[in-house]
């Protein structure tokens, strides 16, 4: 008998713990040739904003030895276009849909969450309060008070699963997490990218027009693992782990540290079938050890100190 990979967060049961990180899986059906969307635990959309955004100027992506710098700047066509053009596509897929949203004000977040709360196709909302690539975005994760304000206001307008995406660049990371818990978030995504830069030594100019970009990929995995562990050690709250997850062992590290789910991001660009391979690998790991459920692995890390 196959092991039970299902995961429950709030009132939603996900068929397995493997999902995708926002912004790394296209905006509709781009990965259908490689990934069976019906086998994913959840689908997390590219960030949607209240109004269309053109994003940052080019160049805005640069590959690093152990990952990628990106400064896309939340380019998207806005919430109205998303509801009209994207929702019909996702409505045909029997996989929970998590919509990632970002705003320049608390009012923006509230407006977006309210519009999405009326859609039966949407299972949950992921609050992107930690994007490092826009002028207004990271500040909501910079202080516990600001984080509390945006999460509590969004919580007041939507009964749907509420996930808050947090950044290690917050000066008081655990303080921000605690504020979000008190404000009513149901779960966290940890972590967002970390600001970095690269320089063209011939031109003596930054590789990115935005100068700084968000570093993702294997380079940040140990950092992400540390923060997932820190959250789980202090708070009884579900965490969706993100940050350099490329293979089964990477995913299992996060689950053993306490993560409920794992979001594959940059790896999708390198190996489009990464999610399917990781899912298969987790099932094999449990089967070989005669474990009946993913619950028997989650949070089992042994720490002596």
Active-site annotation, residues? 131
**Buried-state track 224-248, b at ≥16 Cβ within 10 A, e below 16:** bbebbbbbbeeeebbbbbbbbbbeb
Q: Is there a cis peptide before residue 59, judged by omega within 30 degrees of 0? A: yes
The candidate with the shortest Cα–Cα distance to 272, out of 70, 38, 36, 22, is: 36
Q: Is there a cis peptide before residue 27, judged by omega within 30 degrees of 0? A: no
Q: Which residues pair with 213 in a beta bridge?
A: 196
Residue 69 CB contacts under 8 Å (≥ 6 apart), including other chains: 61, 62, 63, 196, 197, 198, 207, 208, 213, 214, 215
């Amino acid at each position: 008998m196959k092991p039970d990979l299902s995961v429950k967060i709030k009132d939603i049961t996900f068929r397995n713990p493997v999902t995708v990180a926002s912004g790394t899986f296209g905006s509709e059906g781009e990965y259908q040739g490689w990934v069976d969307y019906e086998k994913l635990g959840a689908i997390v959309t590219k960030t949607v904003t209240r109004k269309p955004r053109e994003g940052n100027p080019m160049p805005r992506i640069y590959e690093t030895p152990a990952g990628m710098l990106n400064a896309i700047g939340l380019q998207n066509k806005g919430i109205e276009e998303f509801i009209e053009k994207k929702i019909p596509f996702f409505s045909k897929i029997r996989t929970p849909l998590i919509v990632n949203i970002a705003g320049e004000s608390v009012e923006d977040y509230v407006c977006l969450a309210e519009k999405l709360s009326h859609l039966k196709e949407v299972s949950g909302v992921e609050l992107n309060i930690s994007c490092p690539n826009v002028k207004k975005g990271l500040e909501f994760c910079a202080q516990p008070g600001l984080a509390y304000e945006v999460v509590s206001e969004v919580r007041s307008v939507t009964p749907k699963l509420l996930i808050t995406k947090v950044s290690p660049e917050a000066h008081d990371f655990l303080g921000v997490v605690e504020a979000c818990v008190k404000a009513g978030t149901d779960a966290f995504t940890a972590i967002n990218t970390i600001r970095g830069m690269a320089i063209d030594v011939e031109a003596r100019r930054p590789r990115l027009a935005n100068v700084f970009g968000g570093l993702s990929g294997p380079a940040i995995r140990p950092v992400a693992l540390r923060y997932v562990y820190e959250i789980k050690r202090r708070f009884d709250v579900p965490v969706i782990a993100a940050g350099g997850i490329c293979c089964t062992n990477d995913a299992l590290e996060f689950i053993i540290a306490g993560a409920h789910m794992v979001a594959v991001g940059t790896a999708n660009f390198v190996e489009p079938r990464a999610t399917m391979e990781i899912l298969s690998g987790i099932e094999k790991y449990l089967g070989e050890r005669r474990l009946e459920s993913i619950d028997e692995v989650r949070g089992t890390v042994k720490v002596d100190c």
